[in-house]
Amino acid sequence: MNMNILLVEPDVALVKIYGQALETAGHQVCVATDAQQAIDLIDEAVPDVVFLELQLVGHSGIEFLYELRSYAEWQKLPVIILSNVAPGEFTGSQNIFRRQLGINKYLYKPQASLEKILATINELEFA
């Protein structure tokens, strides 16, 4: 199934690569480079899933998530973290991630191949 994906990613080169991979797999991709832009884009048209880098300029990805989940209509919007922040940085906070911030999956960029990213979307489709 083709999905509408919001990619929240500040790095130009990675935007091109991820965007191309997702579009080749048949998905529609919208890009936001910072938290405010992401909120604005979701307000215009709610995507099927958000891929989120935590290291953004200005407000962080975590701040974006708190903002996102403060809106009742966006509580269930699937969010997949795709970040250079290692998941080990959040030892002890996994429950907060799942319950409070509603993170569906955490992908650590250095170990997240394009195949893995596409497979994660497929898992969402069948969830």
Partner 1 sequence: MKDWQPASMNPTLDESQRLFMALTEELKVPFEQIERRAELAALNGHVGDTKLIAATADDALRLIDNYLLAIRLQQNPEAKFTAQPVSVAAILYDARAELMALANRYNVQLELDIAGKYGPVLAHDVALKSALTSLGHSLISALPAAASSKKLYVKLSAHRGPKSIVAGIYSDEYVFTPEVLRRGRRLYGQTRQPLTGISPHAGAGIFIADTILRAMSLSLKASKYHNQSGLATALPLSPQLQLAGF
CB atoms within 10 A of CB 51: 25
Whether residue 47 contacts residue 27, with contact meaning beta carbons closer than 8 Å, is answered with: no
The residue range among 40-48, 71-79, 81-89, 119-127 that interacts with partner 1, by the rule CB under 8 A, is 81-89
The residue range among 42-50, 51-59, 69-77, 119-127 that interacts with partner 1, by the rule CB under 8 A, is 51-59
Taking the least distance from each CB to partner 1, the nearer of 66 and 71 is 66
Cα-based distances in Å from 15 to 7, 74, 110? 8, 24, 15
DSSP string over 8-71? E---HHHHHHHHHHHHHTT-EEEEESSHHHHHHHHHHS--SEEEE-S--SSS-HHHHHHHHHTS
Among 43, 58, 122, 123, binds partner 1 (CB under 8 A): 58
Whether residue 125 contacts residue 3, with contact meaning beta carbons closer than 8 Å, is answered with: yes
**120 near partner 1, judged by CB under 8 A:** no
**10 near partner 1, judged by CB under 8 A:** yes
**74 near partner 1, judged by CB under 8 A:** no
Taking the least distance from each CB to partner 1, the nearer of 42 and 127 is 42
- Comparing CA positions, the residue from 62, 14, 21 lying closest to residue 38 is 62
Footprint on residues 87-116 left by partner 1 (CB under 8 A): 88-93, 96, 109-110, 113-115
Interface residue list for partner 1 (CB under 8 A): 9-15, 17-18, 20-21, 24, 31, 33-34, 53, 55-58, 60, 62, 66, 84-85, 88-93, 96, 109-110, 113-115
